[in-house]
Chain A
């Protein structure tokens, strides 16, 4: 596949992710901050997000598995996950966290367990999408092309 085709494929894929709500404008901001002097910025931030999220999801599972759930602690973890997902533009994860926090406030064990499943689901979905996106970018760069800038005029 030649570079032009790969670039078009990347643009289409990225646009789909926006339309389906997986990513929001903040992700574009990240891409704008990447340049020749910081060519791996997006990969680095996204990798941090993956590491951070997986740890938080583990902590959340453990916290909700306690006989006496400490909802303050649970809320603190969700707050952190909400923050980091918001910072990279992982919109659906962020929204799942917002719902999660509401149930934490109510101290509703069943609902919060469901929320955890929902957040996990959204996280693994976006992780998969981002890995695909970054792989496409990598292929373009390896073939000597540049990563096209996305215009969201749709």
Chain B
């Protein structure tokens, strides 16, 4: 299978304002977005059972293809399941462990950031998330997609680059 027409991002954040923001940021960059308000809803969307480590789906099925999620971006501080807990669950799942997970947080705590990165997070964004942060996602997605397909023994044909949607509407800003 070649490059998907659009990458699908699953965004997780308990704040409605931040969900709206991340959704707009991602859509502006031509991603398809599903936004949920909790880690457990995220797992539910993926078809992962919340309580245990086993998946509902047949693990030999292309679970990530079925649900079609190419990246998960999650807030760190959430009631119940934190973004870190969600990261761990994803990385423990045989079907989903290769999906890149990006963590967002309003707090710049190096130990927190390092722990997330060490435990498999692809990247860590400080809130408020910027368009420039979202622009950093594409290489992760292209590389991961290519790796997943290689392992499945499929042809790697990411020769046609996904066109970037440019936004010429605004001028370069120089914040003094």
Q: List 15 A-B contacts (CB under 8 A).
A: A29-B131, A33-B28, A48-B20, A52-B16, A79-B77, A80-B15, A83-B15, A86-B128, A89-B128, A149-B169, A151-B171, A151-B173, A151-B174, A152-B173, A152-B175
CB proximity to B under 8 Å, residues A50-86: 52, 79-80, 82-84, 86
- Check if B173 sits within 8 Å of A87, measured CB to CB: no
CA distance A86 to B107 in the complex (A): 11
Question: Does B130 reach chain A (CB closer than 8 Å)?
Answer: yes
Binds B, one of A37-45, A105-113, A128-136: A37-45
CB proximity to A under 8 Å, residues B66-82: 77
Smallest distance from the beta carbon of B149 to chain A beta carbons, Å?
A: 32
Q: Which residues from chain B contact A79 at a C-beta distance below 8 Å?
A: 77, 106
Contact with A along B25-55 (1 / 0, CB 8 A): 1001000000000000000000000000000
Q: A89-B128, A152-B173 are in contact. List 14 more A-B contacts (CB 8 A).
A: A29-B130, A32-B167, A33-B131, A38-B24, A41-B24, A52-B17, A83-B15, A86-B128, A87-B17, A87-B18, A87-B21, A88-B17, A153-B174, A153-B176
| A interface bracket (residues with beta carbon within 8 Å of B) | 20 to 34
Seen from chain B, the residues whose Cβ lies within 8 Å of a Cβ on chain A are 15-18, 20-21, 24-25, 28, 77, 106, 127-128, 130-131, 167, 169-171, 173-176
Main secondary structure of the interface of B (DSSP, over half): loop
With A48-B17, A88-B17 known to touch, is A149 a contact of B127 (CB < 8 Å)?
A: no
CA distance A152 to B169 in the complex (A): 16
> What residue in chain B is nearest A38 (Cβ atoms)?
B24
- Check if A87 sits within 8 Å of B170, measured CB to CB: no
- Check if B171 sits within 8 Å of A87, measured CB to CB: no
Question: Does A35 reach chain B (CB closer than 8 Å)?
Answer: yes
Question: Does A28 reach chain B (CB closer than 8 Å)?
Answer: yes
Q: Which residues from chain B contact A82 at a C-beta distance below 8 Å?
A: 106
- Check if B176 sits within 8 Å of A154, measured CB to CB: yes
Instruction: Select one of A25, A32, A45, A88 contacting B170, CB under 8 A.
Output: A32
CA distance A44 to B131 in the complex (A): 19
Smallest distance from the beta carbon of A145 to chain B beta carbons, Å?
A: 15
- Check if A45 sits within 8 Å of B17, measured CB to CB: yes
Instruction: Select one of A33, A52, A86 contacting B127, CB under 8 A.
Output: A86
- Check if A86 sits within 8 Å of B106, measured CB to CB: yes
